[in-house]
Amino acid sequence: MPEALGKAAAAARTVGPADSIDTTGTAVVRQPGLVMTDHFFDVPLDHRAPDGEHIRLYAREVVATRRERDELPWLVYLQGGPGCPAGRPVGRENWLDRALEDYRVLLLDQRGTGRSTPATRQTLPLRGTPAEQADYLAHFRADSIVRDCELIRARLTGGRPWTVLGQSFGGFCAVTYLSYAPEGLAEVLITGGLPSLDADADAVYRAAYPRMERKSLEHYARYPGDEAAARRIARHLADHEEVLPDGTLLTVPAFQQLGILLGTGDGSHRLHYLLEDAFVDTVAGPRLSDAFAEQVATVLSRADCPLYAILHEAIYAQDERATHWSADRVRGEYPQFERGIEPGGRFLFTGESVHPWMLRTHPALRPLRHTAELLAERRGWTPLYDPERLARNTVPVAAAIYHDDLFVDTEHSLRTARTIAGLRTWVTDEYEHDGVRAGGRAVLDRLLSLVRDEA
């Protein structure tokens, strides 16, 4: 990878907003406490072919008011996902407030997301056949994102190393960065995103389903009436077709996916309030209320981040084997998730998993069904991590590991932490997976103390 990075360095160029895909935005905007500048970059689709096709990336520079002319070190934020754009700040909120004390921050819309060249049901047909779309999307994993970062860094910092803050999948990208381009890194901060270096998708989901069960039972211990409410909704869905306002068919397995809320700090409470107002009496008998359906659609929709579903299992692929709808296959090893409406069964929510039936029930995914199937059967994925190089790491690294994280297995993270030389961990049950958001300044402040040997 370093050789490819070197060959491609000249291929990235900054593009002004007037030349961008979206020409309606302004180059510089101000909010209370913030100055934000738009940046656009052209980068190779395939970094092994720097003279070939290019795609566009968007990144938002954020600096504290009255510090925009200061010589500040850069921090690039890598969002979780995969396939999700960076957050859109409104003032100095959560972790950003702390970061702006020390850094000029870059919020990168990773390739295919946000204002970068989009990859959605509307745009991917421009690539051609499903096979051509799948070949295109094979370039959208962590290795390509790291190469993108290196090209951008050369343009923005003058070649100086920068700090990376990786949340969830962004942390996966940070470990890839440490593996293949550590020379670009001054510090690495990871929140809820230390991946297993060698577990395939099957191993990831075999660790995940027991966590999903635990999180469901913990929720019922907090809100004892919610299991009966969930079972009533599931029985209704088994007997009635319910279509959400966005066109999603709400099946029992789709309803179970509301368990994704249980991986966030306030998610159990949000799920409780959602369940308690599910039904309304109509002339046709009890039906799911419009308010309930609207909220469920918001949680389950993939319209704003289709790559989250299409590429999800590919982030675990590192060898010749296909992922072959791992989450769906592995679920069959846990029959308790199928017994929710049976007498004596416990209704269990699921979490972060992708299934082939979603390509039929979710309107944002239906046109991409054949593309997703080809990616699920794709072989020959390249390694994303280099354990030997990580064992020789010299970049200061600190990682927050959330106890019993719904999204990333704690034992996998701890094993990886022991592999990366010099990495300092903060294992906590004070926060869930979204701690860097929910914790305000506290999580980033703790990681900075660790990485600087101040704690």
Looking at residue 11, its pLDDT comes to 43
Looking at residue 24, its pLDDT comes to 39
Looking at residue 7, its pLDDT comes to 41
Instruction: State yes or no: pLDDT of 313 exceeds 80.
Output: yes
What is the per-residue pLDDT across 214-266, written as a single tens digit (0 to 9) for each?
Answer: 999 999 999 999 999 999 999 999 999 999 999 999 999 999 999 999 999 99
The predicted model gives 339-355 an average pLDDT of: 92
The predicted model gives 351-362 an average pLDDT of: 96
Looking at residue 17, its pLDDT comes to 34
Show which residues are catalytic: 168, 405, 433
In whole angstroms, what is the distance from residue 380 CA to residue 450 CA? 38
In whole angstroms, what is the distance from residue 40 CA to residue 113 CA? 13
Domains, the chain, with CATH or none: 2-197+385-451 (3.40.50.1820), 201-376 (no CATH)
Looking at residue 142, its pLDDT comes to 98
This prediction's pTM: 0.93
What is the per-residue pLDDT across 74-112, written as a single tens digit (0 to 9) for each?
Answer: 999 999 999 999 999 999 999 999 999 999 999 999 999
Pairing state between β 34-44 and 54-64: antiparallel
Looking at residue 59, its pLDDT comes to 97
Looking at residue 26, its pLDDT comes to 57
447 CB burial (10 A radius; 0-12, 13-18, 19+):
buried
Instruction: State yes or no: pLDDT of 300 exceeds 60.
Output: yes
Percent over 90 (pLDDT), the chain: 91
| Average pLDDT taken over every residue of the chain | 93
Least confident span in 11-25, 229-243, 257-271, 273-287: 11-25
Percent over 70 (pLDDT), the chain: 94
In whole angstroms, what is the distance from residue 149 CA to residue 380 CA? 24
Instruction: State yes or no: pLDDT of 21 exceeds 50.
Output: no
Instruction: State yes or no: pLDDT of 390 exceeds 80.
Output: yes
Q: Residue-wise over 39-63: b if at least 16 C-beta within 10 A, else e?
A: bbbbbbbbbeebeeebbbbbbbbbb
Residue 61 — very low, low, confident or very high, per pLDDT cuts 50/70/90? very high
Looking at residue 15, its pLDDT comes to 42
Instruction: State yes or no: pLDDT of 161 exceeds 60.
Output: yes
> Token digits for 285?
């008998």
